[in-house]
Amino acid sequence: MKMYLISDNRDTQTGMRLAGVEGVVVHEREELEKALEKVYQDSEIGILLLTEKFGRDFPDLVNEAKMGRKLPLVVEIPDRHGTGRKADFITDYVSEAIGLKL
């Protein structure tokens, strides 16, 4: 299985290509929909990397990609502008999941 990147900027794509991950840069909703369809049709892609901007701009498409399919596994990654998450988001996530304050 291979990884594939759908990014909103060239810098992230360039960095991932240096690591051996192919991908595409898109900006509009229609471009993202077409890129997702291409990924869904390729059974070799096991992990789909999406920049976090898509989760903010098109949450319906990202949530459907995450929840509506077994493969590929969808992972949102920060882009060159950093993450939109707060600094301790992992601790908060684990605390919420297990019901205990860490």
Sign of CA dihedral 45, 46, 48, 49: negative
CATH number, domain 2-98? 3.40.50.10580
pTM of the model: 0.78
- The pair of structure tokens assigned to 26 is 């898109």
- The pair of structure tokens assigned to 38 is 């291409």
Could you tell me the residue ranges of all domains in the chain? 2-98
Highest mean pLDDT among 22-26, 59-63, 82-86, 95-99: 22-26
pLDDT tens, residue by residue, 9-48: 898 899 889 999 999 999 999 999 999 999 999 999 999 9
How far is residue 99's CA from residue 46's CA, in Å, rounded to a whole number?
31
Query: In this predicted structure, what is the pLDDT of residue 41?
Result: 95
